[in-house]
Structure 1
């Protein structure tokens, strides 16, 4: 396989997500996945596209893709963020807190996505108090 095909398919999938063509993006991501099943960014984008077709819920294949990304890089901030979402969807609030606290620990203070994880963590912590 040509490695350029992988990048082209990945970029096509991202463009299709951007235009709301989720089914087509899933197909493009699947084709890219066959070429390179260990690209963390692809795994997370692919999982997100599948979840978009599942009312935003990460279960089944989307959950498996997140778990694979995290196993490939346990310090991937994006994988930790998504793993926290998976845990929260399964009502595992302690798991979500653990993933998000680790992501925040690994992030620089000025990271552009820091506030997203802080808000998610705050929401889950507030749910635990109730």
Structure 2
């Protein structure tokens, strides 16, 4: 593998970052003073000796042991204490060596582990500008559900949509898949195909107001934006499920407007108006629609 400037820069920065991490880690691991360990060990031994000595005194006082046994046990305690204290430097030295060995192991494992982890999880080919685009495109082609149009050609997008459609033939009860397929068809302005996908979705999720409203929109667009007939039926079904569904209310007003029922159109849009955020573009658009419809109704003598 030929190292490009980008790759070389990356590995240099990575090495510096690893060295910086070790600079923080190693001193803390190596900074275990032998003298401190000796003091701690002596203190621990003395505490144990004191406890055992108090127990001996209590046993003697309570008559559990005789004077001769008391003196023997006490002498044994003193002897063991001296042996432990005398052996503490060796133990501390051994502990320090083990601590150093652990620190050096960390110094070796951290960079090696980081490199291995990157090679497994990361994308080394992405460091090479010559191979990065091909790798990205290949990965995207393997993911039918992830259709990033910014980095894919129209042919690749169409191929992914076809893959998704084929997958749904094998798994026709995948509601999420049908939603994705229908929206993809809408983006490609394949409105008849989108309507078919939404129709399948409404059979799977019969109480999904979103599905019915989207189905109505796709049907209308496939039929020259005509909302009469099946689109209106789908709109009414969406409003039965959710009377405050914004898209369904908007489409219902448009359907009434197309049918010349300006009163109903105004009523539906006024209901929608109450649901829109103040100052939003949608609110301004609907307000304009209501104003124009009122003017049209007045000119035709309708209320």
Q: TM-score, normalised by structure 1?
A: 0.90
Structure 2: unaligned runs, 5 residues or longer = 1-170
* Residue number among 59, 62, 67 corresponding to 2:236 in the alignment: 67
The CA deviation at 1:72 is 0.9
Task: Say yes or no: does 1:49 pair with 2:218.
Answer: yes
- CA–CA distance in structure 1, aligned partners of residues 181 and 281 of structure 2: 25
- CA–CA distance in structure 2, aligned partners of residues 9 and 87 of structure 1: 29
Task: Say yes or no: does 1:117 pair with 2:286.
Answer: yes
Aligned-partner SS, 1:59: coil
- CA–CA distance in structure 2, aligned partners of residues 30 and 78 of structure 1: 17
- CA–CA distance in structure 1, aligned partners of residues 292 and 223 of structure 2: 22
Question: Which structure has the larger Rg over C-alpha atoms?
Answer: 2
The CA deviation at 1:25 is 0.9
Aligned-partner SS, 2:274: helix
Task: Say yes or no: does 1:30 pair with 2:199.
Answer: yes
Task: Say yes or no: does 1:83 pair with 2:259.
Answer: no
Q: What are the Cα deviations for residues 24-74 of structure 1, in whole angstroms up to 9, with x where unaligned? A: 111211111111122111111111110012211111111000001111111
Q: Higher relative CO (CA 8 A, sep ≥ 6), structure 1 or 2?
A: 1
Q: TM-score, normalised by structure 2?
A: 0.40
RMSD: 1.8
- CA–CA distance in structure 1, aligned partners of residues 176 and 282 of structure 2: 24
- CA–CA distance in structure 2, aligned partners of residues 110 and 9 of structure 1: 35
